Structure 1
Amino acid sequence: MTAIMTGLFAAMLVLSVPVGYALIIAAGAAVLVNGGTPVVVAVVKLFQPTQSFPLLAIPFFILSGSLMMSGTLGQKLIQFAASLVGRFHGGMGQVTVVGSTIFGGVSGSAVAEASALGSMLIPWQKREGYPAGFAAAVTASSSTIAGLIPPSIPLILYSTVSNTSIAALFSAAILPGLMLAVGMMTVCYFSGRIRNFPRLTNTGNLSIFGKSLISALPALLMPCFIVVLLRAGIATPTEVSVIAVFYALVVSLFIYRDLTWQRIHAALVGTVITTGVVMLVITASSLVSHVLITERIPVLVAQWAQETLINIVLIILMMNLIMLVIGMFLDLPAAILLLGPTFVAIGHAIGMDPIQLGVIICINLSIGLFTPPIGTTLFIGAVIARVPIGAVVKELWPFYLVALTVLVLMSYVPALTIY
């Protein structure tokens, strides 16, 4: 079954069939050919994930992010980031990284962040004299921080695959997310200094910083209050996501006073579309997982890794290399749901903490979002900047070094994720 499913799935990806449909067709064909699983059971497996209570958090977090990012708040966040780091070398690139880190605590989605921030900051950087390729590269790479900063949608998906605490994952991912941010800001600083990029000279005033901080405070508090509610056991992840929507409505209506029916309608439509895409992949991956588990593929792969590679260092290296390759061709949610069961089995076999494994998977597959040939945020940045993909990739190599360095640290220093 697995060989049939893998072959069909690869063929349909070559034919540009959407990932969700390709997974359903490939897994469905494998089930029908094998005949061991009744069709009714296969259909039940498809719809089983839609009954998962924790997955309700996804549409609500998407909605809260859409409500907050589409209004005045987005401008306030950019002003705050500019007042914080704009005066330094490579300041506007650093503004993008800081903005991505803060927006990550609101949206939880790298793709949404790349679209929203890129449309604001890439044209601004180009007007100020930054190379278009560099502006696109900063946006494409830094937007992936959203995959780690709470409320991270990839981490929610991993928790459903591994039965791991969402609160623990959110807490563990904050440090690597901040490490990525600091590393990318360092790249922007030295790039700006070496290449003499323009700086923002009117942003270092303490008064301006104070005003921008107060204006951006509602967004800055969002990830903090999410983690506190979860870690203190006050609310479940799904309940926190509903509270986040209420929080976004209150902030937009009473603090920024820019909430309109048009914005609510646009946020709802965008949430339905995004949730539909994610849920299609989730339901499809449930059937794929059924095929893999039926043939004991995760267990067999874990046994093979233990017996062949022996050394834990080599096993972790193998997992990382596989994820780096898969992440270049599959989108983040699909890759997590497909690789998750197998890698959780391997991690259990070698005694790796599932929290550490979840952070490693999210960092690793996030790198694929700005890696050709099918990097989603890479394409978004290139389209907004109106430059060829090659020009963006040429500027990306120091950002790859930062991301890979953080990945290696998370892989081999468990204390950084399970502290």
Structure 2
Amino acid sequence: FSSGITGAGAADTAAIGSVMIPVMIKEGYKPEYAAGLMAVGATVGPIIPPSIAFVIYGAMTEVSIAALFLAGFIPGFMFTLALMAVARYYAVKQNHPICIIEITWKGFLKATIEALPAIMMPLLVLGGILTGIFTPTEAAGAGVFYSLVIGLFVYRELKLERLWPILKETAIMSGGIMLLVANASLFSWILTAEGIPQKVADGIQYLTQNPYIVLFCINLLLLFMGCIMETLATIIILVPVLLPLIKSLGIDPLHFGVVMVVNLSIGLATPPVGVNLFVAAGIAKISLEKIGKAVWLFLVALLIPLALITYIPQISLWVPRLFLK
């Protein structure tokens, strides 16, 4: 659910991890496992709509952002199943504590009603985009305004004096992203002027014209880049290089967008410098070495849906084709 609000892995790690990691440690879970679970769980964030990574990719490639959002549903669900399977394995192997909470229908109904305003926000954003009421940019504004209203007047947990620090932090973060975009646009222009994308495409096609082998090589590149670079920066730098290549091989740019974001999402929780690992380790107050050991099995499990998404395009393309005919 948090993924459907923030659209960013690090934000999900911070938002959910700051609440869940201390509680899990208190309940008897190892700190490295609790932190690792939050870090890998948040890899779903950039895949589930609305996703910042999809917005940037769509803006750079002129691929429909609404189609990218829809294309992320099934891959995100596959990621979730893979993570749940590993969590189940660890629960049995390490005899994790069982927390039993009695829930009455009355309590369930009350909690649902209280959560309804927050639950409506992803529906507002996605529904508005898919029905054509507003563009993705306008949807972001609508989502912010809706959050402001329910924070101030419904839940009353947001105070007016907090608005300025929030706006300031958002401006700094957005400014950083736009600085990346501006420099990447210049970098893209230089690459195009020098014919680098075509040379890369020609070089790879000289070695092989098999799209399966090319996708395998691109996956290795993206996984590596995701480990050492921030997701948005990687998209901005690599899209101008890789897009001409995948088009020349007849690969759908929509499908490739999902493959790219899925790869980079795994990189968010991959040692040594996955952003999610830094956030979760800071919350749990443990070293990166400890959390790194706790996430490896989760990461191996995620390679299975990655392979399926890469080599079965229909997994990504079926939902967009169903709704956007």
SS at match of 1:112: helix
Query: Which residue of the partner structure matches residue 139 of structure 1?
Result: 38
**How many Å separate the matches in 1 of 2:287 and 2:251?**
41
**How many Å separate the matches in 1 of 2:302 and 2:169?**
30
* Contact 1:134/1:392 (8 A) holds in 2: yes
**How many Å separate the matches in 2 of 1:158 and 1:194?**
40
Q: How does 1:262-273 map to 2 (within 5 A)?
A: 262-273=161-172
Question: Deviation at 1:105?
Answer: 0.9
Number of corresponding residues: 318
Question: Deviation at 1:350?
Answer: 1.1
Q: 1:276 to 1:203 in 2, by over 3 A?
A: farther
Q: Tell me, yes or no, if structure 1 residue 344 matches structure 2 residue 243.
A: yes
**How many Å separate the matches in 2 of 1:316 and 1:203?**
49
Question: Deviation at 1:205?
Answer: 4.0
SS at match of 1:143: helix
Over the matched positions of the two proteins, sequence identity in percent amounts to 36
Q: How does 1:90-109 map to 2 (within 5 A)?
A: 102-109=1-8
Question: Deviation at 1:204?
Answer: 4.7
Q: Give the TM-score of the pair, scaled to structure 2.
A: 0.93
* Contact 1:370/1:376 (8 A) holds in 2: yes
Query: Which residue of the partner structure matches residue 323 of structure 2?
Result: none
**How many Å separate the matches in 2 of 1:278 and 1:396?**
28
* Contact 2:39/2:269 (8 A) holds in 1: yes
Structure 2 residue runs without a partner (length 5+) = 319-325
Equivalent of residue 373 in structure 1, options 249, 272, 284: 272
* Contact 1:108/1:146 (8 A) holds in 2: yes
Query: Which residue of the partner structure matches residue 259 of structure 2?
Result: 360
**How many Å separate the matches in 2 of 1:324 and 1:203?**
42
- Per-residue CA deviations over 1:202-256 (Å, capped at 9, x if unaligned) read 1454443333233222333322332222122221111111111121122223321
Q: How does 1:293-332 map to 2 (within 5 A)?
A: 293-332=192-231
Q: Tell me, yes or no, if structure 1 residue 242 matches structure 2 residue 136.
A: no
Q: How does 1:394-409 map to 2 (within 5 A)?
A: 394-409=293-308
**How many Å separate the matches in 1 of 2:114 and 2:102?**
15
Equivalent of residue 47 in structure 2, options 121, 142, 148: 148
Query: Which residue of the partner structure matches residue 213 of structure 1?
Result: 112
Structure 1 residue runs without a partner (length 5+) = 1-101
**How many Å separate the matches in 1 of 2:245 and 2:119?**
37
Q: How does 1:16-415 map to 2 (within 5 A)?
A: 102-415=1-314
Query: Which residue of the partner structure matches residue 10 of structure 1?
Result: none
**How many Å separate the matches in 1 of 2:224 and 2:250?**
24
* Contact 1:133/1:391 (8 A) holds in 2: yes
Greater RCO, 1 or 2 (C-alpha within 8 Å, sep 6+): 2
**How many Å separate the matches in 2 of 1:265 and 1:222?**
22
**How many Å separate the matches in 1 of 2:58 and 2:310?**
18
**How many Å separate the matches in 2 of 1:144 and 1:269?**
27
**How many Å separate the matches in 2 of 1:125 and 1:377?**
18
- Per-residue CA deviations over 1:116-159 (Å, capped at 9, x if unaligned) read 22211111111110000001111111112110112211111101
SS at match of 1:328: helix
CA RMSD of aligned residues (A): 1.5
